[in-house]
Amino acid sequence: MKGPLYTCADENGCPQPFLCPLSRVIAGTAVRVKKLGASREVSRRLRELGLCEEQQIKLLTVRPNLICLVCNARLAISSQLAENILVEPLPSHSKIG
């Protein structure tokens, strides 16, 4: 395997090895949600929409809002909210849907 499984969009890198805020992931990257750091109410709503811990998602676009493929549906979230969602990379051959 050559290089990292994905590239963080931030040149300073991610705060923890293999964990990165969703807002710093490059479009087209498949990731697994590890932690929802938003308020209790917002985190509950995200879980209701399918964006929960251990869920595999794919980041489709990053500007101006982030659009993610979650459970075969597209979900748009703000970059501020995405900053509070920690994710880990998935191998490039992982199928997301």
Over the stretch 39-75, which tens digit does the pLDDT of each residue have? 999 999 999 999 999 999 999 999 889 999 999 999 9
What is the amino acid identity at position 15?
P
Report residue 18's pLDDT band, with 50, 70 and 90 as the boundaries: confident
Which CATH number applies to 20-89? Answer: 2.30.30.90
The percentage of residues in the chain with a pLDDT greater than 90, rounded to a whole number, is: 70
- The set of residues, in sequence order, having a beta carbon less than 8 Å from that of 3 and lying 6+ positions away, is none
Arithmetic mean of pLDDT, 8-17? 60
Query: Given CA atoms 19, 70, 48, 43 in this order, what sign does their dihedral have?
Result: positive
CB 9 within 8 A of CB 62: yes
| Average pLDDT value for the chain | 86
The residue extents of the domains of the chain are 20-89
